[in-house]
Amino acid sequence: MTAADVDCLSHDTPPALTARGVRVRLGGHEILHGVDLDSHPGEAVAIMGGNGSGKSTLVRSLVGAIPTTAGDITVFGEPRTRLTSRRIGYVPQRASAGGGVSATAREVVTSGLLGVGALRTPRDAKARALAALDDLGVADLADRDVTALSGGQQQRVLIARALVRDPDLLILDEPMAGVDVPSQEALAAALTKRRDAGAAIIVVLHELGALAPLVHHAVVLEQGCVTHIGAPPRALGVHALPGHDHDHAHPDVPEPVASTFAWEVRQ
């Protein structure tokens, strides 16, 4: 794919999510200084940027986990309220989950079936949780303590918890952090299937990695401001190095070097 192939501005369908001028203040400091974002059904947007750029704060404000101080967020054309949460599946960073009492993978996934007007789990919760775990290839871990699972397995359970809601908009915060390669491939396959089925995806990423083929366009944040919207950074030169922070605008990618030539040929 080249930058010319990407056209994020013309869409036949109404947006899944729009954010306009979103500002967030935490602990007396403004973290986001008026961020815009658009997400459309059947598309995946990557939110990229270095540590402290405001990526996680942005997605947490999009799902209502932290309050915004200014700006508008609409979900499928309606202002975001608790009611619009029904259409959202959220995968927070793995470190935010868990408590002092152990819980099984099935119990964790079942909690994804709750929401507005659903304070108790439905009758078929057990079967639906198992099916969601099965989709991620971890049905055999249903009765295992989630804290005893590997990073990749835990991440699959958290994604199953979001997918069990059958969401039209999927928002993921660093889903690939600390995840083994087989799990990365399983997650990429599950997300691609959802996107192809028409779901909108917003994913916070440090680097594109296994999700590179999934992402349509990227929004790069730097110190709480959007510095680039458009083509995802191409995996060339320093940008292809593991751990590279995409915290700057990317249209001016460096010339390909020998080590990444084969990658470019594959594209």
Partner 1 sequence: MIDLITDPLVQRMLLVSLMVGATAPIVGTYLVHRRMSLLGDGIGHVALAGVAAGWLAGSAADLAQVDALAIPGAIVFAVAGAVVIERMRARGVAAADVIMAIMFYGGIASGVLLISAAGGSNANLMGYLFGSISTASWTDVWVTVGLAGVILVIGLGLRASLFAVTHDQEFAHSTGLPVAALNMAVAILAAITVTAAMRVVGVLLVSGLMILPVAIAQLITRSFTRTMTIAMVTGVVLCLAGVGITLFYNLQPGALIVVLGVIVYTVVASGAGLRKRRRRLRDEAGHAGHDESHREHQHPTLGAPA
Task: Output the DSSP codes for 136-205.
Answer: TT-GGGTTSBGGGS-HHHHHHHHHHHHHTT--SEEEEESTTTT--HHHHHHHHHHHHHHHHTT-EEEEE-
Per-residue burial over 29-47, b = 16 or more CB atoms within 10 Å of its CB, e = otherwise: eebbeebebbbbbbbbbbb
Per-residue burial over 144-153, b = 16 or more CB atoms within 10 Å of its CB, e = otherwise: bebeebeebb
Applying CB under 8 A, does 103 fall inside the site for partner 1? Answer: yes
Applying CB under 8 A, does 61 fall inside the site for partner 1? Answer: no
Residue 148 or 197 with smaller CB distance to partner 1: 148
The stretch among 104-112, 175-183, 211-219, 234-242 that binds partner 1 (CB under 8 A) is 104-112
The stretch among 7-15, 69-77, 87-95, 185-193 that binds partner 1 (CB under 8 A) is 87-95
Least Cβ distance, residue 104 to partner 1 (angstroms): 5
**Among residues 3, 65, 127, 181, which is the contact residue for partner 1, using CB under 8 A?**
65
Applying CB under 8 A, does 92 fall inside the site for partner 1? Answer: yes
The stretch among 14-22, 47-55, 82-90, 189-197 that binds partner 1 (CB under 8 A) is 82-90
Residues 22/70, Cβ–Cβ less than 8 Å: yes
Applying CB under 8 A, does 19 fall inside the site for partner 1? Answer: no
